[in-house]
Amino acid sequence: MGTTHPPNNRNSLGDISVLYVHVLLRAAEAEGVNIPNLTHRFQLSEQTLTSHAARISIPRFMRLGHAAIEACNNPALGLRMGALSRPVDAGIAGLAGESANTAGAAIQTLIRYALLTSRNSRGTPTAEPMKRKLQFYSIRPYNSFNYFVIDSVLGAWTQFLRTVTGHWDVLEKVTIEYTSIGQDELFDAWFRCPVQFGAPDNSITVRADIWNQGTAQAQPAMHEKLVQLCDKEMQEIQRGLTTGDRVKSLLTPLFRGETPSLETIASKLGVTPWTLQRQLAAEETGFRELMDDTRKQLARDYIRETETSLSEIAWLLGFSNPAALHKAYKRWFRLSPGEHRKQYRAMPRAQH
């Protein structure tokens, strides 16, 4: 948790701490999956699994979850992960949240420092205290490789609230962006509130009495100390980012069906377009170059490491149509997206 890596060494789609891999493996084991076989297949060594700093790529994590679901034949494995989540599984952010005075403060702490244990190019979780709403970003398009991610995140947040308050009924409602997979009653029963599928977002809304309730492990002095440690680690992460890195992190969620403008990105960074151009020039790069490079990295990873269709990838990267993506891909890699995917499929996948 205290070690950061240069952004260029990371998978462009994102990475996740092995703390969450442990949760997945615990859930799979509870469902009867042969864990040694699974970890061997995905080349997860004991050294990796016992390192607090180790992370794996988001695509690898999704393939691991998909393999576990296939092995136990439980599409709702994500809920099992949620049920088996503990505050410590969110690292130092979980411990900081657990020691907060109220449940609302606790879950907001957890979400505020989510970057310490996971990084996704799609976005970051957010909290709306006035609405008591906690929202996870969209990871469309949805398929059997990523349903469990939404289930496990919303489930883990719910379990966290249950743990810190000692109450089972903690939510008013749950919204899930993907359409129903035919297990509505199971989800309603697990969350103990209405669950809406095919919703505009992925979120949980906390009951007012729970939001304001004191926590079982409240310890103001310890909370202050842990928050200071979280802030320090967040600052270390931010210090390691160039202006170009920050631009890239903003571009990905904005691509979806359109091409973000320099003005939009500058506004999100709190600077004028001219200042942003000057800062990028000082780093010997430019906005158009960064946009092209970001699309190139993401296109490669979508093609190589996901089952996402070309039309969906084109939309995710802001291209007007698949033909525009195809043209750009050949310019970047001198082969078509289909040829690249075919080559990659012939390689051992677990090691990527």
> How is residue 299 written in tokens?
């296109």
Residue 305 domain-assigned? yes
Decide if pLDDT at 105 tops 80: yes
At residue 135, the pLDDT reads 98
Residue 201 domain-assigned? yes
100 and 227 belong to one structural domain? yes
Domain with 280 in it: what CATH number? 1.10.10.60
> 4 falls in which pLDDT band (50, 70, 90)?
very low
Decide if pLDDT at 85 tops 50: yes
> How is residue 162 written in tokens?
């249950």
65 and 192 belong to one structural domain? yes
The pairing of strands 14-17 and 133-136 is: unpaired
> DSSP code of 123?
B
At residue 197, the pLDDT reads 98
At residue 10, the pLDDT reads 56
Helix (H, G, I), strand (E, B) or coil at 214: strand
Residue 352 domain-assigned? no
Point out the least confidently predicted range of 101-105, 126-130, 141-145. 141-145
Q: What is the mean pLDDT of residues 111-121?
A: 94
152-195: pLDDT as tens digits: 999 999 999 999 999 999 999 999 999 999 999 999 999 999 99
Per the structure, how many domains does the chain have? 2
At residue 258, the pLDDT reads 84
Residue 1 domain-assigned? no
In terms of residue numbers, what domain contains 88?
A: 7-237
60 and 21 belong to one structural domain? yes
Q: CA nearest 204: which of 118, 77, 103? A: 103
Q: In 6-144, which ranges are continuous DSSP H helix?
A: 18-30, 35-41, 46-49, 58-72, 77-83, 92-98, 103-112
Q: What is the mean pLDDT of residues 215-227?
A: 97
- Residue 54, by phi and psi: left (phi above 0), alpha (psi -120 to 50) or beta? beta
- Among 194, 209, 237, the domain-final residue is 237
315 and 233 belong to one structural domain? no
Half-sphere exposure for 142 (CA within 13 Å, toward CB): 18
> 348 falls in which pLDDT band (50, 70, 90)?
low
Point out the least confidently predicted range of 22-36, 203-217, 299-313. 299-313
Q: CA nearest 165: which of 228, 111, 220, 102? A: 102
Q: Of the spans 32-41, 237-246, 296-305, which averages the highest pLDDT?
A: 32-41
Decide if pLDDT at 11 tops 80: no
The pTM of this model reads 0.85
Decide if pLDDT at 243 tops 70: yes
Average pLDDT, the chain: 91
Q: What is the mean pLDDT of residues 215-223?
A: 97
Q: What is the mean pLDDT of residues 239-260?
A: 86
191 and 263 belong to one structural domain? no
